Structure 1
Amino acid sequence: MERANSSKTAGRGSTSGQKRKAEQQPVPVPQRNFRSGGEFRRFQQKPFEAGEAARGKPLCTTCGKHHLGRCLFGTRTCFKCRQEGHTADRCPLRLTGNAQNQGAGTLPVLGHYALVLFDSGSSHSFISSAFVLHARLEVEPLHHVLSVSTPSGECMLSKEKVKACQIEIAGHVIEVTLLALDMLDFDVILGIDWLAANHASIDCSRKVVTFNPPSMASFKFKGEGSRSLPLVISAIRASKLLSQGTWGMLASVVDTREVDVSLSSEPVVRDYPDVFPEELPGLPPHREVEFAIELEPGTVPISRAPYRMAPAELKELKVQLQELLDKGFIRPSVSPWGAPVLFVKKKDGSMRLCIDYRELNKVTVKNRYPLPRIDDLFDQLQGATVFSKIDLRSEYHHLRLL
């Protein structure tokens, strides 16, 4: 009997999305031609080995698994193509696989989400043996053992099937008979037999599958593209690999999200709300030392004409003056002294009201008290690790001016 090989295979030990063709054979294929990928995949994803695939196979003393033939553990041999010099994650079959030209997505299968591949190159539809055990699906034995051939020259057996398996696609529930097979990259592969029965067509460029089933209206499914499932091993297996010289890396998850910090989040601010108000309640209290401006003898009042302003600045001036009047910080005056005002834009785009007191400063008696030098202050900060500053809100309104 001839076996029809396909250029595409999807499943355990093969590249994602590659085709499989299965055929019936009355005589079982000799077991020495079969591979051991089924138990290896279940060991990675589920901590169990018992099952149909492990029965009748001897226990390997090298890797501790049930399989036939030469053990490839620790030999730098690829578990996919059986070639030396690279590992399964760097296998050329995986890197050059054409599953991206098919449609794939996550779909509900009998109440369990599964990664499903629509593969027109597969002659039959398959379901992962590990997914069958995980979802506890009921299986029926096949009348004949099916042999699945791969481009790498390997053969896999399918002895069971899941009959009338319901798959929900774009809100439509469709039944399909799936053959149980040890697969790695996908949980379910819908082959040409099922696609032809539902008159499906695949748009590979857009990854859209259009269905025209005889018993319902036409609908479309948008695929997610092909992606490999994460491979997980146990702590015991990892410890054994590290003891044999395998490279390992220690990684940790770090939350890089920045937390918004506000002034109210500080405990001292919450304990003294009267010291850190959002707005000043009014004029500052009378103090023992009142602030005053001392003028040079013989100074006459100085008054300067106001600066020209744009219409938007004039509107903002009226708004801010009204706010200061409402809070009691200023009052109308007919004093002979006068100074022009101007606006300076802040970082947030708002306008700061400033008063040009340069002419007043010229006739003010200077304070001759010696101020500390900035260099001396920097020298005092040597070795300091904690710094603080004081930024007063509306600082000039904290002083009463006589």
Structure 2
Amino acid sequence: MREQQQPAPPAPAPAPAPALVPVAPQVVPDQLSAEAKHLRDFRKYNPMTFDGSLEDPTRAQLWLSSLETIFRYMKCPEDQKVQCAVFMLTDRGTAWWETTERMLGGDVSQITWQQFKESFYAKFFSASLRDAKRQEFLNLEQGDMTVEQYDAEFDMLSRFAPEIMVIEAARADKFVRGLRLDIQGLVRAFRPATHADALRLAVDLSLQERANSSKAAGRGSTSGQKRKAEQQPVPVPQRNFRSGGEFRRFQQKPFEAGEAARGKPLCTTCGKHHLGRCLFGTRTCFKCRQEGHTADRCPLRLTRNAQNQGAGALHQGRVFATNKTEAERAGTVVTGTLPVLGHYALVLFDSGSSHSFISSAFVLHARLEVEPLHHVLSVSTPSGECMLSKEKVKACQIEIAGHVIEVTLLVLDMLDFDVILGMDWLAANHASIDCSRKEVAFNPPSMTSFKFKGEGSRSLPQVISAIRASKLLSQGTWGILASVVDTREVDVSLSSEPVVRDYPDVFPEELPGLPPHREVEFAIELESGTVPISRAPYRMAPAELKELKV
């Protein structure tokens, strides 16, 4: 039986192509908000944290100043400063802010940076503390500090007296007045105009003083060793006299010990032992380290010689009161405001003062011309302090009750008074002080007698800030608003009016006031029979319009 052929199996169908599944786009996280960006940039500057401690009030001020410096460099917007500052508060500072935020409205985004600073200073650095720091700066003196340490303290406290720092001459004068007397006089001899010049001179003088003291110590050590060597027997070798190396080494030991005590290396340029860079052949003074002169023509050396020559002729003086506290305690002085060379000054009549003085700050403010004294005057105060006066005002005059009187005023560093008229001036002008009436009577032999009514010793007014005044008013404190009105009549002339003065031929010399009211207003008269021009508009007929359209 024939096998029946089986049909071939059908070819397998091709596998269907996989269906394309739509791929979802990768989800990119949202960009950082503006607040987060500013906070991230702020933290890159590594700002300090503040824990709210009250042990050191200046630390709070330094912390806030450092934040403002960072804000200035990163150009932080005003509405982000508070959030960045709050982020750096810890411990007690965080607790303070939670309370302050509720008091200011509870929304940190609505609190301004100025409000934050006012609340922060009121809590951690009040106005009384700032006033105390300002007074500490005004009383700052070098004392036992080095010049570098004194300058660092000067810079640290100077930010509490910005009214002095804005004037470079006043800043330099305050720095010089705080130096020790042995350095202060030499620095003043060069009359530095800026704080940087005064600092450079003071540092150079202190380095010179240290070098001289170390040199004196080295000489003392060398002389002591020499005396010890002279007292001891010299060991002379009895054998082998040819070997003199041991004897030579013994002779050189005292010299080497002296150089080692001084601690000065040997210079390869000049061959001498000294510290610092070598000034040989540089036309630089070895004394003051200034260029342009040599040591034999140094102004510092000449000043020292003049001081040494005049040391025996040092004059003594005294003053009974240099500030308002001492004047109020005394009760035997008279004060008043008088013009001195055209500038009004607070004057103190003091019979207990041996000379007449003027404040150095007043001389600087009024730009008075001064000249050096022939001798240095040492002035003793009731507090036991000793001040030096080296200058006087040229050709000074003071006006009292219409009389102009000559006076010799010596420049002295005083606080509350501009001028002190002492016994020398009172005796020369035959003046006597009536303490009960607070009057000064003048009885000159060649003039008629006159009197000056003083104000007595008065306290200077206390000044507060506008922020503190607003807070006191909000707390219910009484406030008195005083206004000043000038009641003097203003002279009206032709030249004072901007338009009228251009037509002097039309207007009179004196203007009594506004022109009188006119019954008839100004008008332009027309000829009789004149009527307004009236012309009817021209209209075209339909036939004419048709011709135009063709």
Shorter-chain TM-score range? 0.3 to 0.5
- Larger helix proportion, structure 1 or 2? 2
Higher strand share: 1
What's the TM-score once normalised by structure 1's chain length? 0.39
TM-score by length of 2: 0.29
Q: Between the two structures, name the one with larger relative contact order (CA 8 Å, sep ≥ 6).
A: 1
